[in-house]
Structure 1
Amino acid sequence: MSGRAAGKQHLAAALAARTGAFVTVRGPMGSGKSALLRALAEQPGAVVLRASGDPAERDRDFGVADQLRPVPDGFVVLVVDDLQWADPSSVRWLIELAARALVVTAVREGEPGAGALPGSVVRLPPLPSVSWSPRRVAECLRRQPESVRAVAEAIAVLGRHAEAGLITALTGLDDGTCGAAVRTLRALGFVTAQGNPQFVAQAVADAVPATASGHRAAAVLLHDRGHPVTHVADHLVASRAPLDEWAVEVLRDAARQHRPNAVTYLRRAVPGPGRAATLIDLALAESATDPLLALHHLCYATELLAPGRERAEAVLRMPITALGTALPLVRDLLDDVGRDLRDPDLVRRLEARARYAGLTDPAELTDATARMRELGPDRAANRELLAVLAFATTLQGRTPAHEIAPLAEHLLAHAPTDEMTRLLVKTLCAADSPPAAATGTDRALVAVHLGDLADARRAAELVLDGPTGQDALLDLALVALKVGDEHLCERVLASLPSEVDNPGAAAVFDLLRGADAAAKGDTRAGLRQLTDAGRHLDRLGWRNVVLFPWRMAAAHLHQQLGDVTAARVLAEENHDLAVEWGAPAGIGRALRVLGSLTDGAEGLNLLLSAMDALSQSANRVELARTHLALGVRLRNRSEQVSHLQACQDIAAACGDQRLARQAATHLRGEVRRAELTRTERKVVALAAQGRSNQEIAEALSVGTRAVEKHLTNSYRKLGVVSRADLAGAFNHPF
């Protein structure tokens, strides 16, 4: 019989019968045999004698019997644990005694000495093996024949590929001996009962560590038998032996076939033959996640190559984006590689990489526009360089967008590489001319600059679901800033590397951290971090207000804090930069924010000018926000309804549900007063009268921080963005 419940019932019946019997409880290690015997020994109403076998006493005659003798007359229960280790004399003595006593023994399956015994058998299945220790497993295996240990070691090495034929070949055993060893391991409960034998618990794996020499032998075996290169490569990585040429080729092939493990495979291959080629492959694999390390490996590789074309072609295999860090190192590398180069096409392509590396150098950026105008777009060799120069010019925002956009569109139509495409997509998004069909981070950027926030959010989330490099995270940070979704911000921030070598990327990530802090209620800290990061971007020359609208966010926070003067200074700076760049989205956004900061007819005229500018923009959600601002500001009800309805329709189409709800609230002629607390109502009433935060704090006998918090919550609940809109948000006073 099998099972714990059936076993308990059987033992209880044997005890109640009070007659002689021999019962064996069998099961693997950790199956609960000893616990079952202890429970039987504690039963009242019978004389119970207990003993236990021990490997050290197996050769001692009557060793177990001596633990039990003398046995009293009458009915007795003899409980013997680990009978597989008992000496033969004691086993015979127990069998004879079963004529008048109930003899209950426990036997661990798979152990030497666990042969057949008379009487009935209770079989216990394995219990969960979490309580096993590697020491117990190792002790058990040491008592097994050498063939069993060899098979266990082969299973440890082969892992999930432990097929019978491979185990036989790796151990050198014949099929019969190998099969018997597997059956023993299954009886012990150490490996799975079906299919290829696998260790059932980590404790077993810890007790049978795979050796480096075993992995080396497995790699040769799998390679000779034509197994997939990734299987062979896994064993080569785990081995420490010097690599032959075939092994290096296997590792490089595996890296090409399985990108997630490419860096691991290639690092193992570096000490082998063909070091330069392997270092280049390694640099390529590392470029997305660790560009600085990739750059160092590229430098080592070029030193092993012949000067001239061979070195240049190695550098040109690297993504341009991998060269956006460690500017001095990149310059030294490119100067060395290009020193004796005579091919003009290769020279142009190396210049493209040098220009990309110089994106964080203000002097390089300033020179980019002049260099761009020197080159014509007709030669294919110039296009890669022109794409970088157009993007560099866009970052500055000083050359009109209408001059950059046609060049970028022409280059995009002939873009030979994904890298060029990504740079040109960002350039066109900044110029308010986002291109059609895009994927990944490009799609998220295009969607957010079209105002399709729902699609931008979905595309960004999909990118974050996979491995994401620093360059992609930079783009996603810009998307998260513009979408304003707290969950997306948190996901991007959680994905950032601990160290960022590109100062421009680091500043953008700090913008996102500042916006996130402000969104979570720490307005002052968020404003400080946002402003510091934005000024750092200015010092780098990254002043494009469409790509980096930090001044608008900072102006809004100053406004929440009651410092309208500081807010206007930033808004006017932003407006001047937006006009210089000339993209309608940037100009319209700047006019809208200025209008929200300005009372009376002047503010209304600014909002109407924003509407005119945004009517030419691809960014629909900016247009919707301006409709909302006008709908709140205007007093004529029919004009209000027209603008608010337009805002609601556009916002719904763009997936900005929060903006759509704000418009719907005003369309219904409702103020969400019920959602305001009593203190928030008082604060809003005083702010609508023109009181400063300090004056409100004094009037209510609270701190200015409390006033800031109440205003932030009230703006969100009432669907307004400024103090100037507070009074117009109500149909009647508080």
Structure 2
Amino acid sequence: MVLIQRKAQLDRLRAAFEQCDDRRGGQVCLITGGVGSGKTALLEAFAREVTERSAQLLRAVGSRAERDLQFAVMDQLIDSSGPGRASLRQVATAVRLLARAAPLAPAAVEESGVRSDGTAHPGAVTAEQPLPSSVQGMLASLFDLARPAPLVIAVDDVHHADRASLQCLLYAVRRLRHKRIMVVLTESSSLRTPHPDFRAELMSQPCFSRIDLAPLTDEALGLLADTHPVPAARARIARLAPAVTGGSPLLMRALLDDPVASGTAPRPEAAPALGGGDGPLAQAVLRALYRHEPEVRATAKTLAVLGRPTPLPVLARLLALTPDLTAQAVQLLCQCGLVDGDLLRRPLVPAVLADLPAEERRRLHRRAAEVLHEYGAEPEVVARHLIGAEWAEPDWAEPALYRAATQALDTGRPDFASACLGLTRRRAGDTGAWTAYDSLLLRARWQVNPLSAATDLTVLTAAEGPELGTPAALTGVPALLWHGRGDTARAIMAAVAQEPGLTAKTRTLLTAARLLTSLCRPDHSRDARDEARRVTESGTATSVTGRYLDALVLLADTLDSERASADAAARAEPMIQRYLAEDGALGLLAALLLVMVYAGRPGPARAWARTLLERPSVRYAPTWQAVLHAIRAEAGLRLGSPEEADEQARAALTVITPQAWGVAVAAPLGTLVAAATEAGRFEDADRWLARPVPAEAFRTPLGLHYLAARARYQLAAGAHRAAADDLRWIRREMAAWQMDTAALVPWRLDLARVQIALGRRQDAVRLLEDQLDPARSADDGTRGRALRLLAGLVPPEQGRQLLARAAKLLGPDDRGEPSRPPGAPRPAPPAPERPAVRLLGRRAGSAAKPRPERPEPPGGLSEAESRVAALAAQGHTNRQISSKLFITVSTVEQHLTRIYRKLDVKQRTDLATRLAAVGALGE
């Protein structure tokens, strides 16, 4: 690895060598630093330099496995220059004699160097002992080696050297004053000083110098990143390096080699997260970890399990160490780059946790939960460790888990809430009684995956008597409605309403449940809307339920044909801004986004939905994430962007499965059908229509969206009667629900198109004029499209005026039905390429109607050419046609060339007249 940020240290080694070479006396240099700080790399670089200068080099490496093997390091030094030199053979002989003449001091007396009676141990490292003849022989041999050229003795990891070899080194070090010998040692920082007697005497020598290696700076890390062989990876690695390595050369080397870090993994989508798996970075982490003492390793593992800043006394208690020793352990982990402050670096956590056996990890979590509870930690912190330990035995565990689950739901973490409550349920068992715990668990599971709440709903549906009338059961109403169990929802509300002495909170919750039911099943609880308005006027927005109720009331007003007003969106947007930062307010925000969509402001609704989807917390609530995708899809459809609508609706059905959508699946499926129809992808629309939709969905407003989309497809397929049937079904339901507003479904506009296709122009005019009645409170987009359609059904002069009004309402970016000159023949919608139309019956289970046969395209045009010709006649550019039909611009040009030849026209402006003449355009 390239030496970076080590020039000053290398210069100090060079200067020491120069003194030896100039016969100014021997030198001893001790290179110190944390594990993986580059000590070995520095020693290797220096060794290469002195070898090039013809110095003699003896090298050895200390090893933990050989620290009790006598003269293990000395043997390496002797062997490092080969067996051919007589002086080395003399050193070897002297060492063997020394082993017999000077037995080693036992470890118990090593530090003091004395026996229990106060006399010096013959094997202890002391300065006062007379030199035996064997030692004198060894020294004489070493000095002989240094006569022709300087001698460099290099020992890496001297903290792992055996005591006998250290004695030999000290014998030589004390006599280097006028010798051409340089001793270079490397030593890693540790909790306890290894061989303190050796170190103390070494540092007392006048020829001694210490060289400390600090972590690499960010600039140095950037220079190392520039050495990566893949230029595109360099900036990425430079960005990651400070946070991942902490300036550790060992970790930086691993980062350069890690394909995940560099983005060069063969299959990036299947690669583990950075630091996970068995990649270079994970291996480097374990190398650093196992070069430390057991207490330091235990500290790293405990920090990995804790996962958050922990006070030093708590950490010391968990480790059963003194606070001072614990602080030293953390400092050592900081030096080697594994820890930042008091936290294990996040990308390195997976490698440390992977090294923990499952049972040991559970034990650490359990111990952490106990200690943190004793120190009064937050319930969420304690609960995380209880979950990790799969343990909830003590009496304090269940309340802590319940409080943590409540907080988690309030902060948008239903996944964590579900884990907390799932643990309590495993402990208590299923008693059959519906409690506050069950309510929280149902809310949490529904937000993660509505299908997982099915078991809980079965228990709630089976409840009866007092259990059904508990306020806790009210929280199950939204999930029951989602899954089409409106009867159970109404039974719960009725039972709660009969309970005496309801608190204000319960009354507000009951009111919200009744209003939500009236919105999801408008054929029930119609009086709930007036009741909810009275409650909100009394000032309930100070509570979470009250704020949610305010949003539902605004949504109900937007869909009420008598109360709908133009200022609904203006009232909704400040509420969105007010509650946007609350991670637990996604249900409230979704209701407000629907208000904006239905109030004719799909643009801002789409922007707010995009903002919410970009928030990291949304990924913890997949159901709300899917709902936001569906809202954004509907907004995109209303803005004339079928491509975006299709993309977002598909995402809605991917985040959670269609089965998990329950009766609400009608919303994304309806959007997909409408988007495919508008884009001319009729086979796609047919496939989406083949997807099953629960019969209960058609008793909800979302079912009307689906019916409207199906009607548009049927109109495009030429099944005019079937389209009219669906639209009249919508008309009846909306009138019965008192939701006859274009904000929900502009059925009059769609039915007018059907009447035009059937040749009933006067019926279409009446429908459009009714749609334009100010009492209908239609949004600008609906009014603009109605005016534009009406302009083709009235005299030219009046039509031009209507088109001008439509243009003001729609604006230049509207991509709805294109305008055409007044009186010009209206082109029929592009027909599908023989789609297998599935005309679903008016109710689930009714017989399917046969697909009407499509007549052969007139004028000799193929079906593809007919579609291109119709769009070109309407004034679309070639690029717009290519976008709508999903073909290339070149293909459009080729089609137009053949169309001009077959129809015998010279220019684009003649297409409409010629197509009408050959019957390719209908009324």
TM-score by length of 1: 0.71
Partner of 1:62: 71
Match among 121, 125, 129 for residue 251 of structure 2: 129
Match in the other structure for 1:269: 424
- Distance (whole Å) between structure 1 residues aligned to residue 702 and residue 426 of structure 2: 48
1:288-327 map, 5 Å = 288-297=447-456, 308-313=465-470, 316-324=473-481
Q: Confirm or deny that 1:108 pairs with 2:263.
A: no
Deviation at 1:236, TM superposition (A): 1.7
Q: Contact (CA 8 Å) 1:451, 1:620: kept in 2 or not?
A: yes
Q: Once the two structures are superposed, what CA deviation does each residue of 1:422-461 show, in whole Å capped at 9, x if it has no partner?
A: 7776665555454744452222222222222223323433
CA distance in structure 2 between the aligned counterparts of 1:394 and 1:293, rounded to whole angstroms: 28
Q: Say if 2:376 is the partner of 1:226.
A: yes
Three-state SS of the structure 1 residue aligned to 2:387 is helix
Tell me the SS of whatever aligns to 1:25: strand
- Trace 1:443-592 onto structure 2 (pairs within 5 A): 443-462=592-611, 464=613, 465=615, 466=618, 470=623, 473=626, 477=630, 480-481=633-634, 483-484=636-637, 485=641, 486-487=643-644, 490-495=647-652, 496-498=655-657, 500-501=659-660, 503-517=662-676, 523-532=681-690, 536=693, 539-540=695-696, 542=698, 548-550=704-706, 553-554=709-710, 556=712, 563=717, 565-566=718-719, 568-580=720-732, 581-582=734-735, 583=740, 585=742, 586-592=746-752
Is 2:517 the counterpart of 1:388?
A: yes
CA gap of 1:614–1:577, structure 2 versus 1, over 3 A, is: farther
- Where 1:26 maps in the other structure, the secondary structure is strand
Change in CA separation of 1:212 and 1:138 when aligned onto 2, cut-off 3 Å? same
Query: Is the counterpart of residue 345 in structure 1 residue 420 in structure 2?
Result: no
- Structure 2 contact 622–656 (Cα < 8 Å) conserved: no
Q: Which amino acid aligns with 2:54?
A: A
CA 1:382/1:452 → structure 2, altered by over 3 Å: closer, same or farther? closer
1:626 aligned counterpart, secondary structure: helix
1:625, CA displacement in angstroms?
Answer: 1.4
Is the CA contact (8 Å cut-off) linking 2:309 and 2:343 kept in structure 1? yes
Q: How big is the alpha-carbon RMSD for the aligned residues of Structure 1 and Structure 2? A: 5.0
Q: Provide the residue aligned with 2:95 in structure 1.
A: none
Residues 457-498 of structure 1: CA distance to partner in whole angstroms, max 9, x if unpaired? 234335545365648856863663354144465345424312
Secondary structure, counterpart of 2:372 in structure 1: helix
Q: CA deviation at 1:58?
A: 1.8
Retained in 1: the 8 A contact 2:449–2:660? no
Match of 1:733 among 888, 904, 910: 910
Among 201, 204, 208, which residue is 2:348 paired with?
Answer: 201
Is residue 2:155 matched to residue 1:80? yes
Alpha-carbon distance change, 79 to 492 in structure 1, aligned in 2, over 3 angstroms? farther
Q: Does 1:605 align with 2:727?
A: no
Distance 2:169 2:821 in 1: 93
Structure 1's unaligned 5+ residue stretches are 350-379, 396-403, 668-679, 681-691, 723-729
Give the equivalent residue in structure 1 for 2:408: 258
- Secondary structure of the structure 1 residue equivalent to 2:187: strand
Give the share of equivalent positions with the same residue, in percent.
Answer: 20
Which amino acid in the other structure matches residue 348 of structure 2? A
The 1:174/1:510 distance shift into structure 2, 3 A limit, reads same
Equivalent-residue separation in structure 2 for 1:166 and 1:287 (angstroms): 37
Name the CA shift for 1:628/1:108 in 2 (closer, same or farther; >3 Å).
farther
Match of 1:179 in 2: 327
Query: Distance between the aligned counterparts of 1:300 and 1:576, measured in 2?
Result: 39
After superposition, the C-alpha distances for 1:15-67 in whole angstroms (9 at most, x for unaligned) are 67745543333332333333333334444343544432222222333322322
* Partner AA of 2:44 in structure 1: R
Q: Partners of 1:473 and 1:313 in 2: how far apart?
A: 31
* 8 A Cα contact 1:199 1:205, kept in partner: no
Alpha-carbon contact 2:609-2:631 (below 8 Å) kept: no
Q: Cα distance, 1:251 vs. partner?
A: 0.8
Q: Give the residue type in structure 2 aligned to 1:46.
A: S
Does the 8 Å contact 1:252/1:266 carry over to 2? yes
Change in Cα spacing, 1:150 to 1:346, as seen in structure 2 (3 Å) is same
Using the TM superposition, give the Cα deviation of residue 499 of structure 1 relative to its aligned residue in structure 2, in angstroms: 5.1
Matching residue within 21, 30, 37 for 2:36: 30
Residues 1:424 and 1:590: Cα distance change in structure 2 (over 3 Å): farther
Residue 189 of structure 2 aligns with an amino acid whose one-letter code is E
Shift of 1:244: 1.9
Matched residue, 1:374? none
| SS at structure 2 position matched to 1:107 | strand
Cα distance in 2 for residues equivalent to 1:714 and 1:25 = 84
**CA contact 1:588–1:613 (8 Å) conserved in 2:** no
Q: In the alignment, what sits opposite 1:155? A: 303
Distance (Å, rounded) in 1 between the aligned partners of 2:603 and 2:496: 48
- Relative to structure 1, the CA distance from residue 199 to residue 442 in structure 2 (aligned partners, 3 Å threshold; closer, same or farther) is closer
Q: 2:37 is matched by which residue type in structure 1? A: S
CA gap of 1:284–1:394, structure 2 versus 1, over 3 A, is same
CA contact 1:280–1:301 (8 Å) conserved in 2: no
Shift in Å at residue 255 of structure 1?
Answer: 1.2
In terms of fraction of residues, the more helix-rich structure is 1
Matched with 1:672 is: none
Shift of 1:92: 5.4
Moved more, 78-87 or 13-22: 13-22
The residue that corresponds to 1:370 in the other structure is: none
Aligned length: 643
**Amino acid in the other structure paired with 1:56:** A
Q: CA deviation at 1:327?
A: 6.6
Could you say which residue in structure 2 is the equivalent of 1:413? 533
- Displacement of 1:168: 2.5
Q: Rg: which structure is higher?
A: 2
- Counterpart in 2 of 1:364? none
Paired position in structure 2 for 1:165: 313
Over residues 281-338 of structure 1, what are the superposed CA-to-partner deviations in whole Å (9 max), with x where a residue is unaligned?
A: 32233233334433423656899x9x7314531662333121136679x989999x99
Q: Distance in 1 between matches of 2:523 and 2:150?
A: 99
Which secondary structure does the structure 1 equivalent of 2:659 belong to?
coil
CA deviation after TM superposition for structure 1 residue 528, in Å: 0.2
Task: Give the Å deviation of 1:526.
Answer: 2.5
Q: Answer yes or no: is the 8 Å Cα contact 2:442–2:453 preserved in 1.
A: yes
Q: 2:339 aligns to what SS in structure 1?
A: coil
Aligned equivalents of 1:273 and 1:264: distance in 2? 15
